[in-house]
Amino acid sequence: MDWENKEIVLTGGAGFLGSHVYDKLLERGAKEEQIIIPRSSEYDLRWKENCAEICEGKDIVIHLAANVGGIGYNQEHPADLYYDNILMSTHMMEEARKAGVEKYTALGTICAYPKFTPVPFKEEDLWNGYPEETNAPYGLAKKMQLVQSMSYRKQYGFNSIFLLPVNLYGPRDVFDPKRSHVIPALIKKIYDAKEKGEDNIVVWGTGKPTREFFYVEDCAEGILLATEKYNKSEPVNLGSGMEISIKELVELLVDLMNFDGDIEWDTSKPDGQPRRKLDVSKAKKEFGFEAQTKFEEGLEKTIEWYMVKRQ
């Protein structure tokens, strides 16, 4: 793909993942003035008129914008998560189609998979059950992009793709306890305990669930490779293919951050989905993507970024 001559819309481009996609677009030759990043203060993407305005005359749309948070946020805002995400996604794809956009990349979520999906998660298992309850409103709203994508390709020949990234982490992540996911939440918790001289940290759940974590720069690369090379509406997993328990994750972070206090588990809090690990073979087969960053290396980079930010 000749990025240098493309007019690009990158929704969510100022956010955690989007900022890394933006950097990689520039590395590929895209021109700064030709990458439109609609800010929520100017363009509320829940309104189709705003989506129509930003899609007019554009070649590529990469739709990353979302209302998203961790388990606590999901429990407190299920209606907002459903409403905001389904409206943004529906209007963006429709207005991109009407504007004649040549390629549309939609980002789904691992939360769309059924609660008890066989591990590793394969794309063909996506419809075989209801998502984990705390994630369902968000997961199902994002999953409707797949239905829209396949329908639009069939009826209009619209070239849209749908990617399913697993849990992300890395520099520029959200460390706000009300919205952060597990890795930034734990890094902040350990950092704060050390700063205050506390001798323990409290972690949600039992520590038994497992997760796959995916370094954000690897994800950005996967998104752009798919945009360049993949032209089907069937969903594709994006991930690292690793799996670690929350207990092992906490112990690793405590070690990397030199915290010698105790770990207490608040088992009154939910664990979320029991296991998450993707089958990532389709991404390699279809557009040659494989994650490159080793987990401990990625954690060290994330911790270093947060420590510098706090100084």
List, for residues 292-308, the tens digit of each pLDDT value: 999 999 999 999 999 99
Q: What tens digit of pLDDT does each residue of 198-207 get?
A: 999 999 899 9
CATH topology of domain 3-169+212-242+274-292: Rossmann fold (3.40.50)
Q: Is 308 exposed, middle or buried (0-12, 13-18, 19+ CB in 10 A)?
A: exposed
Query: What pLDDT band is residue 179 in, cutting at 50, 70 and 90?
Result: confident
Three-state SS for 60-75 is EEEECCCCCCCHHHHH
- What residue spans define the domains of the chain? 3-169+212-242+274-292
Q: What is the pLDDT of residue 81?
A: 96
Higher pLDDT, residue 109 or 272: 109
Q: What is the pLDDT of residue 275?
A: 87
What is the structure's pLDDT at 65? Answer: 96
Report whether 300 contacts 293 (CB < 8 A): no
Q: What is the pTM of this model?
A: 0.94
Residues known to be catalytic: 138
Determine the pLDDT at residue 181: 84
Bridge partners of 200, per DSSP, are 262
69 pLDDT higher than 90: no
User: What pLDDT shows up at residue 177?
Assistant: 78
